[in-house]
Every structure is written in C-alpha cells, then in structure tokens.
Structure 1
Amino acid sequence: MGSGSSAAANSTAVGQNATASGTNSTAVGQGATASGQNSTAEGQGAIASGKNSKADGQAAAATGDNSTALGQGSTASGVNTTAVGQGSMASAPNSVAIGTGSVASAPNTVSFGSPGNERRLTNVAPGINGTDAANMNQLWGVQSTVNEVARRAYSGVAAATALTMIPEVDPGKTIAVGIGGGSYQGYSASAIGVSVRFSDNLKAKLGVGISGNGSTYGGGVSYQW
C-alpha cells in the first residue's frame, strides 16, 4: 500500500517504497524494509533483516536474528540483541543497550551508556542471590566490616610489638617486671609482662598487650642446657 511499495505473500507493506519481502513480515513507513522472516520495520528507512527482528523508528535497523531496535537510528546487529534509545547500538551476541547513545559491544552484557557517557543505575534493591547486583548500601556495609577488621588487626600488631619490647629477666636475677609500647599504622598499644627465672636452666614469661580494640595475652616456658 503506497507508491512503489511491495509485499510478499502473507506480508504487509505500507508507505512509499516500503518493502516487506520476508515471510510474514511487515514494513510501515517510507522506504521501510522488512526482509527477515517474521520481521517488522516501522518508520522511515527502518530495516528489519534479521529473522524475528523488529526495527521501530526512523532509520532504526534490526539486522541480527531475534533482534530489536527501538528509537531513531538505533541498531541491533548481533544475534539476540536489543537496542533501546536514539542512536543506541547492540552489536555483540545477547547484548542489550539501553538509553540514548548507549553501546553494548561485549557479549552477554547490558549497557546503560558508552565510554565517556556513563550513567548511574539508581533505585536498585539489595542483591540476594549470587548473581544479583549489589547496591552501594551493601558495598558500604562490606567496607565498614573490612575497616573494623583492619582496625583490630593493626591494634593486634601494635599490642604484639609492645609485648616484644619488654626485657627478660637478667642472669642472676629471679623476677623481672616490665612494660612496653608499640605502634603500627597509627594504632598504639602498651604491654606489661613478668619473667621468672626458676633456675639456671628454666625460666618462664607472661604478658598482656592492651590496645583500644582489645587485648592480647601470651606466655611461655623455656628450658636450656
């Protein structure tokens, strides 16, 4: 229907020079072309050449099998691709491009922008399953946990360092009580320790390191000959 339009059996062409050559295809708009089986092209110059493809918009092109291009100048050229938005492009298999100018060029991906024209994905619910996306609240929670572990670890290192700074009992002496201090990555700790010489061959040592995030305890016995 329309000057210069043509349609195959069971197909429909509406508009000047519209062509619906694919089986069960539909072309609507001046110069629209639907050549793929079960394809639909709607809009001036729209092209739907892939099997089961749909192009909707001026100069939209759905050339991959099972592809969909929605929006002026949008292109879905890969197999099983979807491009939504003016100038959007989905070229890799199973890819999706959403938004004006978005580009999906890697297989099995969803793109919301292009290099230099990125977009934020907002109002995302917290992920539950292993393949769900995580939102910033979840990431902040992980960061908080990591920071707490780091604080405790740094304090523990400082406390252990403080314990090592306490001198042991000297030869000829029986008991030594000492204190020590240590610092690591900005975290400080102090320690108190006692060492006892029971004989020339046997001695023992006990100590506790104290920091703002907890305490460490240690003890040991040695026999020498």
Structure 2
Amino acid sequence: MSRENDHIDRRIACLQAERIPAALISTMGYHCEVWRSNLRLYRDGVPRTYDLVIKVPRETYSVQEASLLRRDYRRLRERLGSIIPRTQFVVTEIDGQSSVFAISEAVSRWFDIANPAHEEEAVPLFRKLRLARADLMRFVEAADAWDTHENRVIDLYGLENMVLDRAHRLRYLDSFRVFFYADMLHAIDGEDETLRQRIELSRLRRDYLRFLVEASR
C-alpha cells in the first residue's frame, strides 16, 4: 500500500515529521509502520537527497530495549553483510513517550522470496542469479545455526521480510525484534499460542528457502 504526498502522522521529538513528505508504504508489519521519504539534508552546505525508509513502532521501547534492537541488528549485519540494509536506531520521544524509531536505506522490492506461491518463478530465477542464490544459502545457514545453538528463530512471519531488490540482490528487511526466542514459549504458565504460530511459520518458510537453494542447483 502507499499514500503519496503524505506525512508521518506521529509526533517524533527529534524529527519534524510534519515537514517531511513521506508515503506510507506498509502497515502490514506486526511491530511497525513503514514510511518512505526522499530526505533533503545539508552536508558542508551542500544539499543531498537520500532515499530512506522510516520505521515507526506500534509500541513504546525503553532505552534498554532499544539497545537490544541495536544488538540484534549488529548480529545480523556482521553475519549477513549487505543482505541487511544499513539502519540507524534513534532513541527519542514518540507521541510524548520515550521510544525509538529506525531509519534505513530504502529497498525497492522486485520479488518476494519467502512466499511459496512464487515457487515456479523462484526456482529458475535462482538458477540464473548465482550471487543471490549464494546469499540465500548463507542466510539459511545462519538462520539454522541461530535456531540450533541459541534458540533464536529469525522472523520470516511477514511475507515481505525477504525479497530481491531491483538489482537482483537478496535483502532482509525486518528491523524490530528480528528474532523470536523459542525458549520463551514455556517461560510463563501456559504456552504463548501467538508466539508458537509465528515461530512455526518462520521455520516453515525457512525450510522453503532451503528448498529453493537445493532446487536451484
């Protein structure tokens, strides 16, 4: 979805959101809304335009929680490199409450990978795009290792989390709470059914990504 010539409709203390033209490009994310904007910034007196996305969370985050978001982002970026878009987390007040938002390089989606409905197109595509296939293999191997050794399940619940961009590069787009913690399922009395469903679906989609790697040899 997209609303052109709009503005971010949240009060962000360090950002004059009402003066920044932005298009709401996604409300489907569980954790945040995503806005896209061409920000005009000055550096050494020279204007530059940056194509960015601004991710505004649906809930508040403490400073400690914001540091955990940064930690998980660094974990992804260090392991997966350019698969993870460059992102900065900014601690500020949103609608009068302490929180955090994320600014990331914009990615123009070309093909949604994690949707099994696209299998017939995806397999021959990855046979041609060898670098993208190698990156997909690296992503699956990293996700398997995090799940096996740390009980961290990378979030593939959203169909738009894993895409090819217009340059045919693999990109993982999530920023907020990128891992589900499987050991939290039984941390409280009873099982968290919503968390269980998200973990199960993320694992199923990871299995599908592994299938794409194998089928596109």
Structures share fold, TM-score greater than 0.5 = no
Name the structure, 1 or 2, with higher relative contact order (CA <8 Å, separation 6+).
Answer: 2
**Alignment TM-score, normalising by the size of structure 2:** 0.21
Which of the pair has more CA radius of gyration? 1
**Alignment TM-score, normalising by the size of structure 1:** 0.20
More helix by share: 2
